[in-house]
Amino acid sequence: MTTQAAHQAAITVECLTKRYGDLTAVDDVSFTVRRGAVTGFLGPNGAGKTTALKTIVGIARPTSGEARINGTPIPDARVLGVHIEPTGAHPGRSAWNHLRSLAALAGLPAARVGEVLEIVGLEHAARRRVGTFSTGMRQRLGLAAALLGDPEILVLDEPLNGLDPQGIRWLRSFVRDRAAAGGTVLLSSHVLTEAAQTVDDVVVIHEGRLAYEGTIGELTRMGTGGVVVRTPTPERLIAAARGAGALIAFQNGGGRLLIEGMDAAAVGELAHGERVVLHELAPHGASLEQVFFSLTREEAA
């Protein structure tokens, strides 16, 4: 990490390892979270995302390594806002009282409770007991708690889980607005395509190890690609493409194929040589999910 990068980093994670007995949940993970950016912390279920986040924010002790937020291991609610599942609210306590207690612990005025409830759209449920909340409402409550101190850094664990489409859209624009205003957001998700619309940078972990760190644009460009063709005689083209070492990724109605392992020019020449008529020939970028799967497969191998 360069000095400049260290200066810019809102969160620095160095050689972080977390073991529970024989199980290594997080294994020597290092990365930085850029200030003023939204960073997706991605990985399949069980990859170690939540454990890593707990260790980063200081509610789990690392076995080795360290994480620093704005250069300090335990920041308060004015610096760092965290929402990690579950919400951590007593089911018998009202949303208002839950947030009021957290505001008091942080030394914040009680008036802030009303403000954050309004931000997350829960003002109508302020006096309801948390035990009666839906999953989406609990997510919003967790987010409200994270926002109490109006922190410059937000760490959100699977924040889109349980939100309805309107909630997802709201959260995306909210997170983007925070970043646009200079805030930093680290959010985890096990669904890459869901997070891809929101994040600038991506950190992928799999089986506790770092699988990728870079921008979402770089990740998208990592795709192996392929060529989409449509032909009235797909059988001949499939045979010829396989003979040339290509993979036929899918075939559906109307003779539409995805050929992997050849570029568009090579497929065009092959079709010409086989006298196969093409109705469509276009390069096809690999989907983010495909890149995600290939990253995690490689790491698992």
Q: Would you tell me which residues interact with other proteins (CB under 8 A)?
A: 54, 57-61, 74-77, 79-80, 82, 84, 86-94, 97, 100-107, 145, 148-149
HSE-up of 153 (CA within 13 Å, CB side)?
Answer: 24
> Least CB distance from residue 144 to other proteins, whole Å?
11
List the beta strands (DSSP E) in the chain.
Answer: 9-20, 23-34, 38-42, 64-69, 80-83, 153-156, 184-189, 201-206, 209-215, 227-230, 247-252, 256-260, 280-283
End-to-end CA distance of the chain: 27
Give the nearer residue to other proteins in terms of CB position, either 60 or 205.
60
Identity at 148, one-letter amino acid code: L
> Least CB distance from residue 211 to other proteins, whole Å?
25
Give the nearer residue to other proteins in terms of CB position, either 63 or 233.
63
DSSP 94: B
> Least CB distance from residue 244 to other proteins, whole Å?
55
> Least CB distance from residue 58 to other proteins, whole Å?
8
> Least CB distance from residue 96 to other proteins, whole Å?
9
Whole-number Å distance between alpha carbons of 141 and 87: 7
Beta pairing class for 23-34 and 9-20: antiparallel
Identity at 100, one-letter amino acid code: R
- Cα angle for residues 229, 230, 231 (degrees, 5° grid): 120
Whole-number Å distance between alpha carbons of 195 and 216: 10
- Please state the φ and ψ torsions of residue 290, each to the nearest 5 degrees: -65, -40
> Least CB distance from residue 190 to other proteins, whole Å?
19
Number of CB atoms found within 10 A of residue 294's CB: 15
HSE-up of 269 (CA within 13 Å, CB side)?
Answer: 6
Give the nearer residue to other proteins in terms of CB position, either 92 or 253.
92
Give the nearer residue to other proteins in terms of CB position, either 79 or 248.
79
> Least CB distance from residue 89 to other proteins, whole Å?
7
The residues that bridge with 230 in the sheet, in sequence order, are: 256, 280
Give the nearer residue to other proteins in terms of CB position, either 142 or 167.
142
> Least CB distance from residue 92 to other proteins, whole Å?
4
Q: Are 81 and 155 in contact (CB under 8 A)?
A: yes
Tokens of 238: 């499939």
